[in-house]
Chain A
Amino acid sequence: MDLGLIIYALNLASIYALMAIGISILWSSVGMINMAHGATFATSGYAAWFVSGALKPAIAATFGKTVMASVMMASVVMLSAVLAGAFCGAVIYALAFLPIHDKPNYSVRSLIITLALNIGVVQSLLWYFGPRNRGLPKVFGFGRWELLDTKIRYDQAGTIVGASLVMILTLAWLRYSRRGLEVRAMMQNAEGAAYSGISRQATALPVLMLTGALAGVAAALLSQTIFVSPTAGVIPLVKGLTIALLGGLGSVSGAVAAAILIGFLEAIVGVIPFLGQRYVMFATFSFIILVLIFRPRGIGGLLDNTRE
């Protein structure tokens, strides 16, 4: 296997992991399967495109064609995507969590509401912006490095590094901050957490905003490779969901492991001559079915077992 393939696989894996971790954390702490993650993804992409388009003349006027201008541009793209993602998280909180979190059938109803949100938002984007693809300004610039005879594009490297950084930050936040402690308590035992005075309502908002922001980062990063479009969120949503499930819902390490596995699988299937890109989904799902037949609770279940 050559290095280019590994880089490509890691690139896919890092995007998937960002989506899957968001879904996984949300499920285990708030008890909600967030089907609106794809909508968050698409909305953040559009927000980044819109804001960067609006601020382009201003940045060009202030900084000219310096390095500073591209740095500013990059930070504008990332920041707007993250903010839009967090905003979407807050909207999901207001619609799918607050009104029904203490009502019967909460988990099914929140799934349905987020699903409806997803369909509605994607169709609205399609209706308003049209199906045309939009390119985002390049955060990491054009160009490539030569390393061991293989070319690594800046955006690929940037995506891998950026995603890993964001994930580490998130995990560190979960590990070391007080809020993070509350979230982890809810992940382990929601009822016990409630008994020891952790408010579900107060904790759910930051978790939803955080996972939304993760989707925003994923959108900004993936849009370096492909374009922004209304339906761009569907594939990351499906992949994120499958990977979160494959990793064992609620297990962050399992989700990362599953993301890497699936990333490599897709990269490899993509280059095998007689299979090709068309069979990527086919191979992924066959793999998932195989795993589920042997490990009914996903890979996270495996990790749990070995720990015991």
Chain B
Amino acid sequence: MKDRLFKISLIATCALVLLIMGGIIYTLAKGALPTFEEYGLGFITSSDWNPNPNNEHYGALPFIAGTLITSTLALLLCIPLSFPIAIFTGYYFKGTKVASIISDIVDMLAGVPSIVYGLWGFYTLRPIIVDLGLSQQGFGIFTASIILTIMIIPYATSLSSEFIKMVPNDLKEAAFAMGSTKLEVIQKVIFPSASSGIIASYILAMGRALGETMAVTMLIGNVNLIPTSLFSSGNTMASVIANQFGEADGIKLSSLIAIGLLLFFITVVINTIGRLIMKKLKV
């Protein structure tokens, strides 16, 4: 009897997880409905975000653009920075103390709260950007992308290092026996056999960048326009929600929830692509 109760409660908790998942989609969709009824798909393609009561209109394109541009830039910058760390921990120093120290340090990067990254970006990174003459205030797409890059490095490295470790030893040894140098082993053995895993890690890391809020909010400049250059200010989906949710009601609130729904879909798509690539590898 108690056994059955136990088994039922196990299943019930699982059902609760499904319920939460379903509830999230339902709540977002319901909250976003007024916006899509008002503007239709034009909400996604319009770049006019105007809370002025006389001329109220909401369009999400500037934020979608901001999110996609910053995350893509972060992804591109993250590849050359995280690959060396992954190759160190997964190949050069595989299984040694050095590798565990490096990966501990990188894990610490993952532990830094988003708001602390924001502060560091504001007080240390931004002045550097200004000094370099890249932009007047130092805010903007580029600054936000750099912070995002630093934030996603740990995710990209720890995953891709796992895939580099998984390359079978006999393959590497065979290459060494043919007289290959370590670099040639990386180029001709590790790259081909771990590349899709490494790509999957980068895609999942990008999934992290899409939803980052605080650090980006503090650095992107918060201008509701489609960014015109690398150094112009902008806004991302997550940062516009954080900035404007508090005072919003009516159609504006619904529009912000609609942006949340779109952000949800984009992250789900990116994460699912990454996961599918990884699943294929495990078989």
Answer yes or no: are A and B bound together in one complex: no
Residue numbers of A with Cβ under 8 A of B are none
